[in-house]
Structure 1
Amino acid sequence: MKNKILVIFPIKGPLNGVKVITKNLLHHWENKIDYNLIDTAQAKDFNDFGKFSIQKVFVVLHLIWKVILNYSHQKAYINLSVKGFSFYRDITLITFLLMFRVKVTAHIHANGLEHVKFNLFKKIINKTHLIVINDYQYHHLKEYKNIHVVYNSLPDYYHSKPLVKKQNEKLRILYFSNLSLSKGTQKLQDFIEEINPIGDQVEIKICGGILDSESLEICKNIQKYNFVEILDPIFDEDQKMSLFKDSDVFLFLSDENYEVFPLVYLEALMNGLVIMTTKQVVSDLMISNGNGIEYKIKNRPFIETLLKGNKLKEMQEKSRNVFLKISDFEKFSTQIIKIINDK
């Protein structure tokens, strides 16, 4: 027991980036790293993310009991949520771990810790090793002592082999994200209306859970366009990769700098998709090889260039090369293990 790592992360329920990357990491650790898992997932549906309920309080008490049962572990690796009820849950779990003299490594996958003002919480977090996922977070969290930057990564579904993409009759555009106003559903509607005149040359597939009533109305409105298809959320990895591979362009429309390091970027690059993205903390890196553009008010001219000549194929190859350059999952795993082991 003493040599095991206690991993405290959300695993079950509706997928998000944290769950996807953690599942891949734990799969990579099988037969390599000795660990015990405590699953902190509480949301049972997409509409349940970030919302408080009495039932969640009882779940937290159960999680505390699990931590107490595993007090003899020397090291813990925990996801630290930074907003809402989940933040208080994770701080509570970290407090109990520290009480048992467990060395805690906390991984943050979102912005927001810089807004925490309560000194007690800061002191608790300062007793952990803190992993952030981009330079923006690092520079805004300088008050914390043991802070490390580890960029997100994913294992290559194609094992670094050449990716063969078929040429589609129409330009296939994929919007793969949960749907909310902050994640760009209004911009999505504007984009669809803008390219309606060339709708006979494109197909748009929208895949994700609907998070607010406004986005539900928007989805009802855009269904009238015959080149738009709204899919149910996808949880199967092979099915998701097939959807990405069969697509040509990845459309990412979240509010500026709302996202931290979306894994869907890496999934799109892995599958050789041209990237159209709003300005995000890491978006410049995602289109650094001339493999995409920053989303603007008017985007139809760019879509039209992809419908002509070899421009689409050239940019798709560049996207795949960006993924091979920036994503090394073995290195990613090794970095995290070194931080947990304090080496």
Structure 2
Amino acid sequence: MKPRILFIMHVPPPVHGAAMVGKFIKESAKINAAFEADYINLSTSTSLNEIGGAGAGKIIKLLKIQADVVNALSRKNYDLCYVTLTASGPGFYKDLMVVGILKMFEKKIIYHFHNKGVGLSGKSVLTDALYRFVFNKSYSILLSKSLYYDVKNYAPAENVFFCANGIPKNQLTSTAERSDKDICRLLFLGNLMQSKGMLVLLEACRIVKQQGYLFECNFVGGWTDITPEQFSQKVSDFDLDGTAFAHGPKYDQDKRDFLSNSDVLVFPTFYHFEAFPLVILEAMQSGLAVISCPEGGIPDIVVNGETGYLVPQKDAAALAEKIGYLIQNPHVRQNMGKAGQERFSQLFTIDSFEDNICDILRTAAAGKPV
């Protein structure tokens, strides 16, 4: 008999890493063939700007989620309940209500963390008690072994699994087929927010342009705490008109076109909850060299000096140095892109993810957390 699993997770909209992985799971033929699966959407937001906010609409959605969970548990005896638990902040308290229902029904739970922050939040007596309640006799999935420090005070090592994210294969232009070799195209891909490092990148672009390099930098993603007007003003202040461009969110083929026509992904994030950015996997699959920062699980994705570079956070000068070097040395960025493609194919495909997550869920469904 197939293990019965209730998946309580985020799916788009809005589009972010956890939601995209939720979409991959829900649409996976392999996962749905391996388990008797039911799905409940955990999201109460429909846009990026709504995340973290409140309101009557969100309360109604939250109550419906809780009712759906109760109805599902009342109808079927699940072997495992899978929850994409938000690690901290308002989202944690929202998800905590669902966890409480699962605990009340004495269900076995496995959490899949797509962000971090437990270690940052578990400071007060209240939050410490809540985390102990959540993690008690439950399993957890982390995206990288380097993220275990975040939950080690609450999750025994024997209750923790590790599963790197994977993404579907797309047909993209190879590094050897890229045209217009006279200009290096930089790409920032992700939500347009300060903590993802987009203003640091603009400052680095200012430095690189002053050094006389010819390049183009495209920013692709949804607007959050930076408005298009603020971006345009910063571009003007840094004398980057005609060099830096913002395109807003792009999906499917439109996004693939940007990846195909770029040479380097620059993702200088200092977002405290960053765990395992899918945008880096997309760039590696596309044959782009990657410049990022050692935040979360990124050092387990980008091999410094081989598939790209890791630079100190909020350091525009260090970022500019690496950008300038890759602009000057197209053969280096092309070799890094090829090495990144090979690393992606070995570790970060959707097939690898599906195999790993199926093994983990089977083990958890048959096991007993300590």
Does TM, scored on the shorter chain, surpass 0.5?
yes
1:255-334 alignment to 2 at 5 Å?
255=270, 258-285=273-300, 286-288=302-304, 290-295=306-311, 296=315, 297-305=317-325, 306-308=327-329, 310-334=331-355
- One-letter code aligned to 2:179: Q
Give 2:247's aligned residue.
231
Give 1:53's aligned residue.
55
Moved more, 321-330 or 185-194: 321-330
1:69-148 alignment to 2 at 5 Å?
69-71=71-73, 72-74=76-78, 75-114=80-119, 115-116=121-122, 117-142=127-152, 143-145=154-156, 146-148=159-161
Contact 1:180 1:215 in 2 (8 A): no
Distance (Å, rounded) in 2 between the aligned partners of 1:13 and 1:213: 20
Give 2:38's aligned residue.
36
Q: Which structure shows the bigger proportion of residues in helix conformation?
A: 2
- One-letter code aligned to 2:28: H
Contact 2:306 2:339 in 1 (8 A): yes
Distance (Å, rounded) in 2 between the aligned partners of 1:300 and 1:131: 36
Alpha-carbon RMSD: 2.7
Give 1:10's aligned residue.
10
Give 1:180's aligned residue.
193
Following TM superposition, by how much is the alpha carbon of 1:69 offset from its aligned partner in structure 2, in angstroms?
1.2
Contact 1:77 1:105 in 2 (8 A): yes
Give 2:23's aligned residue.
23
Contact 1:153 1:266 in 2 (8 A): yes
Moved more, 140-149 or 242-251: 140-149
Residue identity (%): 21
Following TM superposition, by how much is the alpha carbon of 1:53 offset from its aligned partner in structure 2, in angstroms?
2.1
Contact 1:179 1:212 in 2 (8 A): yes
**Would the alpha carbon gap of residues 289 and 303 (structure 1) be closer, same or farther in structure 2, given more than 3 Å must change?**
closer
- One-letter code aligned to 1:5: I
- SS of residue paired to 1:267: helix
Instruction: For structure 2, list consecutive stretches of 5 or more residues without a partner in the other structure.
Output: none
**1:99-138 deviation line (CA, Å, top 9, x unaligned):** 2233221111111122333324422322321111122331
**Would the alpha carbon gap of residues 126 and 331 (structure 1) be closer, same or farther in structure 2, given more than 3 Å must change?**
farther
Distance (Å, rounded) in 1 between the aligned partners of 2:195 and 2:227: 11
- SS of residue paired to 1:212: coil
Instruction: For structure 1, list consecutive stretches of 5 or more residues without a partner in the other structure.
Output: none
Following TM superposition, by how much is the alpha carbon of 1:158 offset from its aligned partner in structure 2, in angstroms?
4.4
Contact 2:186 2:264 in 1 (8 A): yes
Q: TM-score, normalised by structure 2?
A: 0.83
**1:147-170 deviation line (CA, Å, top 9, x unaligned):** 2222222233249x9775313242
Contact 1:76 1:340 in 2 (8 A): no
- One-letter code aligned to 1:91: L
Contact 1:274 1:291 in 2 (8 A): yes
Q: TM-score, normalised by structure 1?
A: 0.88
